[in-house]
Each structure stands twice: as C-alpha cells, then as structure tokens.
A and B are shown apart, each in its own frame.
Chain A
Amino acid sequence: MRYLPKSPADREAMLKSIGLRSVDDLFAPIPAEYRLTRDLDIPRQMAESEIVDFFRQRSRENGDGYTSFLGAGAYSHYRPVIIESLISRGEFLTAYTPYQAEISQGTLQSIFEFQTMICELTGMEVANASMYDGSTAAAEAVMMAVRLTGRRSVVVARSLHPEYREVLATYATHQGMPLSTANFGDDGRVNLKELEKLITPETACVLIQSPNFFGTIEDAGAIAEIAHKHGAMLVVSIAEAVSLGIVEPPRQADVIAMEAQSFGVPLGFGGPYCGVIATREKYVRQMPGRLVGQTVDKQGKRGFVLTLATREQHIRREKATSNICTNQALVALMVNIFMTVYGKVGLRELAKQNLAKTTYAAGQFAKHGKVLFSATPRFNEFVVQTSEDPYAINGRLLGHKMVGGLPLKKFYPELGNAALWCCTELTTRTAIDTAVGLVAESERSVRSSKEEDVAEVTR
C-alpha cells in the first residue's frame, strides 16, 4: 500500500522488539468471535490513474459545462487563483487545530485576521473562528439568544432560507424552544404587524435573513426596534456574503449568523462551507465556537492563542455553550484570502457588478413574466412568476446547457409557478438573454394555447 512507509523487514523488526511473533497478537484483546476473518467487501486497490479516471467520469455526469441561474444559499462567484495556491500549502492543509500556539502561529494569525474582517463587514464587535455552515450558525445563534435572555421561544421569518428553518426546527425540538413563523408581505419582506403580534414576553429572539431568501433586503432597523421594544434580541442570517460590499449590514442586530461561502468557497454540491457568528463584545462569553485572541509571549512579543476556552466542550463538558469542536478552518482560510484579495474597494465593485447583472436580468424577465416584490430593494436574486410550471421551462433550458431558477413550489406553494433566479458577476448578458428568450417563448405558447381554447369554446 503506497501510503504506508514500512518494509516487511521493518514490521518484522518492530514486532520482534515488542516481543510478539505475529501481527495477530496485537489484536488479541478483541474477542475472537468478532474478529473479521475475511476481506471487506469493497473494490480492490486502485492505481492513482484509475482514481482520477473514476472522478473525472463522475464530474462529467455532474453538470460540468452548464450555465446556472441557481443561488438560494449557494452562490457561484469567481475564485481568485491564489486561494488554491495558498490553501494547498501543507502547513495549512495538514495542520491540526492550533492548540499548541508556538507552532501554530500561521493558523492563529490568519484566524485573527478573519475575525477582524468579519467584524468590519458585519459591523459587529466580535466574530468567532467559524461554524459548520450558515444553517447551523443560525440555529446556534438562536440558542445563544435563548441563553442570554433566559427566554425560550423564537419568532422566525418565513423569508428565511427554508432549509435553515428546518435545521433550526431540529435543534429547537428538544430544547423546548417553541417556534412561530412570521409571514412575508406583498413586498417580499417580513410582515411587521404580524411579526409584532407573534412576539410575547417569552420571545428570546427574532430570526430573519437579509438579503432574504427571495433576495429582497429586510428592514432590519424596523425589526430590531420591534424586537428590542419587547425585550427580545434580533438575530440576522446573511447567506449571500457578497451583498456586504454594497448593502448596509444590519448593525442593529444583536447577533449575526453568516454563511461566507460566497467568499471564495467552491459550490461543491453543498459543502464544506463556512458559517460564522458575530456579535457584540458583551455577549462573547455566550458565543459558541473557537476564538483566537492576541497576547504576548515571555519576551513581550505579539502572538496569538485560542482563548475563552471555558465556553467550550473540552473544558465545560455538558455545561458548554455548544458541542462544536472541529469547525471549518481551512474554508475560513479561503474566505480570509478572498476578503484580502478584494478588500475595501474590490468588494464594493464586485457587489456592484452583481447588482447590475441582476437589475438587467430582472428588467428583461419583467417584460415577459412577472417579477415579484419588484419595488423592494434587492441584491442578486429575484422571483419570476410564469404561466407555465418552472420545472417544464427548466427542462427546456437544460437542452441549452442551462440551469434555470429554483422552482419554489416545494417551499412556497402559495407563490404558484414561481422560481428564484440568481445572477452574479459571472452571469453573462448572453446567458441572461437566452434564458429570458426561452421564458418569453413559454409565455407566448401558453398565451396562444389559451387563445386557441377560447377560440374552440366560441366555435
């Protein structure tokens, strides 16, 4: 086996020095009746070239070469080449959690920079070293609000990503946390009147997403005011990190739970991604996840360490703020490099291009189908309602090697034949025009078949 650095003679010598005759003696502690006496039923050893062929084949069966208009919590942005160059360095790739600070300063300093930039972008005072993803970060942020307020119930916006809501429901079930859901209004944003009615003296927090699942920007200020008036916290989930380049962050929030995948992390069929929680300094001791802090060594030299570990499971065990241990460090490094590359000016320009492409696309679609919530400010997603089932339209788009918007019937049946479309800086005008053309064709054919029906009836 090519990964194993021992010759048969080495093994012999080692066994001899231990005083054993055969390797089987090492497994004597396992009761004989359970020892496996056959080969595992898995394919034989494969050569490296065969492994590469296997995955190349899988790649061809997996949408390689398609243009996509999908977003909905997973966004296709350009990834600067140096991200891969740098994260492939073995010193980052093959290091463990930086518990031994003296030989982990590279990882520690980069996390410290990550925490700083997340604070700058979200307008919060502290950020952790990462969470699994945006959905679990949102659930953990809610549990944090429950601990901070001593209250147990939660009001969730229906315009929060449906899968994030499902994850929260799973986490909340056994915590005795009642969830209620605030619907969205005709403007595609949380219905504030309904929201206020749902808040009770037992409400720990209100959880919204902005830009929300439909791409529209919530009025976080107004929602914060309502929540705070009733002694509840506001937790805001941000799923499209690039929006932070041009959209004012929800500074009125008490906790922000982010998905930073947009910042240089490949789509990767849904993971690994990079969740992160940011909050105010006074709440840091109830924050889950690892934190890096600055300190000095014995000579007074600046250095970085993992800190406030008394919140964590390896110290506090069942009284910890969370059970999280392994996080998404290498993915956070991708995010860190991406933020460094684009920086203060580039992130804004990048976000502006997203906005321009989306504005153009929404305008074109509006000529043929109905763009919902169109008067509300949005970032890079929008909902198009069509006469025909979007699955049927998408079926035809696939023939053009294009993936249309995400049909919303499964999550929001009341919106009928609606689909969520996304454009980023990578979406070309040609692709937009082609997709709009196919939707227009669908609308025309539905209209003419209706006219035929009418003609038949009158005849």
Chain B
Amino acid sequence: MKHITRKATRHVNQNEGLIFEKSSAGKAAWKLPPLDVPEVDTAKLLGASERKDLGNMPEVSEIEIIRHFTRMSTWNYAIDLGMYPLGSCTMKYNPRVNEAVARVEGIANGHPYQPEKISQGALHIIKTLSEQLIEITGMDAITMQPAAGAHGEMTGLLMVRAYHQSKGNARKKILIPDSAHGTNPATAAMVNYAVENLKSDSRGMVDIAALEAQMNEDVAALMLTNPNTLGVFEQQIHKIADILHAKGGLLYMDGANMNALVGKVRPGDFGVDVMHLNLHKTFSTPHGGGGPGSGPVAVKKALEPFLPAPVVITHADGTLGFDYNRPQTVGRVRAFYGNFGMFVRALAYIQANGPDGLRQTTEDAVLNANYIRKGLEGTYDLPYSTPTMHEVVFSDKLQLKKGVRTMDIAKRLIDYGFHPYTTAFPLIVPGALMIEPTESESKEEMDLFVEAMKSIAEEVEEDPQTVLDAPHSTRVSRLDETAAARKPVLRWKPGN
C-alpha cells in the first residue's frame, strides 16, 4: 500500500470451513439429564408422524463450535472495532449494561402469558419506556408492538388508514419524497395505498410548491424523514404540516434520523401526527448483524383509538395490565407484545443518559457530522450546501473523472480500517457517499477517517487502479454478486 494507514494493521486470522464439513458421526456437544418419567415408544405414539432421520444436521463437539463461531466472528467488522459511519443507520455504541440487565432471570425468562399478577416487572418496564418515548417525541400515545422500523411504518399507515376510514373515506395515496428510504414506498403498497413521488427542491428539502400542487383529498398522508436522508432539517416543516392538515391529510414522520433531534426538538411540537422510532438506531440496542430491531409508533390523540391491541393500562387497584378491549384498533401486528428485550435495553440507555446526556448525545452527533463535512469539503463534491445535521452526503463526481465510483472508495476505506459509509443512497444524489458518524466517535477517530478519505482521494488521482481493485487486505476480495444471483446457491449440500 502506497499510502500508510495509521488506523489498521493486517494480522493473521483463522480459516474455517462450513460446520457441515467438520461433522462426523458420534461427535456431540450436548448431554441430557436422565429421564425422571418412563421412556416412551415413539413409533406407537406418533405412528406415521414419527420422524426417522434428521438429514445432514451436523455432529460436532463443543470446542469445535466455540472455535467455529469465534473464528467467523473475527471476519466481521463491528462498532466495537471502530467507526461504522453508515448513513441513516446510526451505528452508535451499544452499552454493555443494557446487555447485562436484559439477561437478568425474571426479565429474560418471563413467559408472555404468565398471569398479570406476576408480570408487573415487565409491564412496569413497558409503561416507563412508553412514557419516556412519548416525552421525547412530544406525542400523546404509543404502541411498542412493531418489531422493526419497516414494521412500525406499516403499523403507522394502518392507523392512518383507520383514521381516514373513521371519517368515511380511507383515501387513495401516500406522498413520498424522492429522498425517502425504500421501506416507505414498500410499506405504502402493503397497506394498499398508491405511492406518489414528491420531488426535492434545490436545497434538498421538500418542494413546497410541488407539495401544494399535489396535495388534495385523495392524499392520506405524507411520509417524511426529518432530518431527511441528506441530513437536512426540513426548515418549512410547519408549513408542510399545515398544507397537509388543511386538506385533511396526516403527517407521518419516519424517525430513522431521530438521533439528530432527541432533547433538542420534538416532532410532536412541529406538526407530526404519527411517527415510528428505531430503538436499534437512536436508542442504542445492538444491530446484531441485521436485527432484532424494535419500531414503536407514537401518535397524536386523534389516532390513539386505532393503536394495535393490547395496550398497557393501570387498573383501579394500581397494578398494571393489558387492555384488549379496543373496538377501533387496527388489530395485532405481531404475536405477544413486541420485542420486549429491546425495550429493556432502550430504557437502560435512557436511564444512563438522563435529560442532559441525551441532549449532549444529540449535540455531539451533529457536531461530528459537521466536523467531517468541514474536513472533506473540497476533497469530495458536496451536492447540497444546506446545513448538515447528523449526517452528511457527498458525491463521487470528482472521482468519477478517473472512473472511480462511490462503491470503489467505500471498498478502499476498508483497507484503511473503517467500515464504509452508505453508498449510492439517497437516490437523488448520483454516486452518493452518505456519512453518519454518530456521537460515539472521538475527535481522534474522526481525524483518522478524514485522513483516510483524503488519502483515498489522492490515490484516485495518482493510482486509480489501487482503488478500483480494493479491498486488498481482507480475507476475500470483491465477491461475484452477479454469479450469486444468476445461479443461486442458498444452502450447503453434501458433495458441494
């Protein structure tokens, strides 16, 4: 490597095949206690339903399993290793006390159907977190049932539909800005609304004139991410809300970027009617390689009757319980009560922060994004000069002259010891580099990031092939995704 990276050094890691390739008959990692009841004749009990063979399931010992997964783990990048600046993903530190308290016996092992009398602890957690999220968002009521952000979007739009239906007309479509996440239009389709695109203005914000022209009595809601995916706060937010409300429409806020707002401004105060939160983004629950998430939906009073059932209530005797008698509910969106384990972690995060910590967190997240913007402005093209909140979007326009695209720069960043930023999104910026550092990065880590990005820009000028061929330091080089999709191999088979 021509340019020296100060962040990372190569080191040996172990090769490891698939677990099936280690399996051989007679090895075992399990031991059951002796039965304290009579043995049974399975053939007699199950008849034709008895299973005789479990196919190619592995047979391995415990040490092999430990090494198998530990070795594989070392092939992953993670927040615990360094900056993970994926835009709109909010890859912040996942506090370990959250993990510890989620594993306390009565919390980890409570059965969802155990009597209310012995579920007061869990109910207390749900109620406390609900109240705090309502305070943080400035909304009036909340459901904790949705399992992730997209699931929250669906729940929110179901409530939007039910609200309009209760007024006699469910309406036909949802307006979605061209900068929106893909989940927004996919969700609208699941709730059987047509999607109408809304274009952005030259500053990267909702085009107010276009909104006024497109708004009519067929529009059920506008789904708005704020700050939007350019990291820009919609400065005309109240005007947007007013335009919708004047024609009876609702303002839905995708809370994916709430990390820019907590403790500084509340969506409920600027005209939002319904919004979802991502506990796995803003409230520090771990992404775990793609989940689990949790996507609570907060609403204004007018939408409260439509919340999914059950909701947590306080009985006359002061104990907590579930209320299933919700005649106007949109129904259930999930069995049981949602991803409770994530509620525990999110509440622990809020407790550790308090009001001052949450505010400082938001300030640091926005400060970090602006610091990176300042550091890279000039080196990379900044398509929108509008002020940046928690994330900043550059484009590969300058590097494209040498045939280098955002994905190539991202792959080269890996060699410098960083996880790439989000590539090629939002769609309104051709060749986007979407960078969200979060509050969890120190000045030193960000200085290294800026240095790495500048160094790559120099490489693009001097030796673009090095960038085009990156990464050079990983255990596998760029993988053939086309072949993977053309002839999918989605499982191991003996003899493969």
Contacts and interface: CB of A to CB of B under 8 A. Distances in A.
B331 A166 contact: yes
A167 to B, nearest CB: 5
Most A CB contacts (10 A, CB to CB) among B192, B289, B359 go to B289
B179 interface: no
Contacts, number: 674
Interface in B265-283: 265-266, 269-270, 278, 280
Given A3-B93, A345-B28, A346-B30, A356 B291 contact: no
Contact of A329 (B80, B288, B333): B288
Interface string B114-143: 110111111011000000100110000000
Contact of A105 (B56, B191, B476): B476
Interface in B87-135: 89, 91, 93-95, 97, 99-115, 117-122, 124-125, 132, 135
Contacts of B333: 136, 167, 170
A234 to B, nearest CB: 16
With a 10 A CB-CB cut-off, give which of B69, B340, B351, B371 has the most chain A CB atoms.
B69
B478 A105 contact: no
Interface stretch (B243-251, B394-402, B434-442, B454-462): B434-442
Nearest to A129: B290
A110 B72 contact: yes
A39 interface: yes
B78 A320 contact: no
Interface stretch (A200-208, A244-252, A440-448): A244-252
- Counting chain A residues whose Cβ lies within 8 A of the other chain, the interface size class is 35 or more
Contacts of B232: 29
Contacts of A415: none
Interface stretch (B18-26, B208-216, B297-305): B18-26
B488 to A, nearest CB: 5
B49 interface: yes
A17 B150 contact: no
B68 to A, nearest CB: 8
A147 interface: no
A333 to B, nearest CB: 7
B264 to A, nearest CB: 6
A31 B125 contact: no
Interface string A122-139: 010111011011111000
Given A174-B158, A360-B37, A163 B332 contact: yes
A297 B334 CA distance: 40
Contacts of A303: 476, 479
Contacts of A44: 354-355
Interface string A329-344: 1110100010111111
A143 to B, nearest CB: 8
B354 A43 contact: yes
A348 interface: yes
B371 A14 contact: yes
A18 B370 CA distance: 7
Nearest to A432: B37
Interface centre among B115, B119, B290 (most CB of A within 10 A): B290
B371 A76 contact: no
B122 to A, nearest CB: 5
B339 A271 contact: yes
- Most chain B CB atoms below 10 A, which of A48, A59, A249: A59
A1 B32 contact: no
Given A269-B119, A271-B334, A271-B340, A113 B488 contact: no
B290 A112 contact: no
Interface in A343-377: 343-350, 352-353, 355-357, 359-360, 377
A134 B76 contact: no
B327 to A, nearest CB: 15
A331 B484 CA distance: 25
Nearest to A117: B57
Interface residues of B, number: 194
Given A5-B441, A10-B442, A322-B190, A347 B54 contact: yes
A115 interface: yes
B408 interface: no
Interface stretch (A84-92, A149-157, A224-232): A84-92
B49 A26 contact: no
A103 B414 contact: yes
Interface string B351-370: 11111111111011011101
A68 B351 contact: no
Contacts of B32: 346, 349-350, 353, 425
B76 A308 contact: no
Contacts of A11: 364, 367
A349 B91 CA distance: 42
A31 B95 CA distance: 33
Nearest to A425: B32
With most chain B CB atoms within 10 A of its CB, the pick from A30, A97, A248, A305 is A30
Contacts of B189: 318-320, 323
A174 B188 CA distance: 11
A186 B66 CA distance: 48
A116 B491 contact: yes
Contact of B80 (A43, A94, A161, A328): A94
Contacts of B79: 90, 94-95
B114 A93 contact: no
B477 interface: yes
Nearest to B331: A170
Contacts of B95: 3
Contacts of A313: 150, 182-183, 185-186
Contact of A6 (B48, B73, B442): B442
Contacts of B45: 355, 359, 377
B107 A269 contact: yes
A119 B265 contact: no
Contacts of A340: 19, 29, 58, 60, 65, 68
Contacts of A174: 158, 161, 190-192
A60 interface: yes
Interface in A21-74: 23, 26-31, 34-36, 39-46, 48, 50-52, 54-66, 68, 70, 72-74
User: By CB atoms of chain A within 10 A, which of B62, B332, B360 has the most?
Assistant: B332
A62 B290 contact: no
Q: Of residues A119, A303, A360, which shows the largest number of chain B Cβ atoms within 10 Å of its Cβ?
A: A303
Given A74-B113, A356-B39, A31 B340 contact: no
B480 A61 contact: no
Interface string B335-349: 111111110100010
B120 to A, nearest CB: 4
A188 interface: no
Given A1-B356, A58-B121, A97 B289 contact: yes
Contacts of A10: 442-443
A323 to B, nearest CB: 4
B290 A135 contact: no
A106 interface: yes
A356 B37 contact: yes
Nearest to A104: B76
B147 A132 contact: yes
Contacts of B350: 42
B330 interface: yes
B57 A347 contact: yes
Contacts of B1: none
Contacts of A2: 352
A290 B489 CA distance: 14
A115 B490 contact: yes
Interface string B215-251: 0000000000000000011010110000000000000
Nearest to B278: A326
**Interface centre among A52, A271, A290, by most B CB within 10 Å?**
A271
9 contacts: A40-B135, A40-B359, A61-B120, A63-B114, A112-B491, A123-B55, A163-B332, A297-B478, A356-B35
Given A272-B292, A343-B28, 10 more contacts: A1-B356, A13-B443, A29-B235, A29-B387, A34-B270, A82-B66, A91-B77, A247-B51, A248-B49, A307-B485
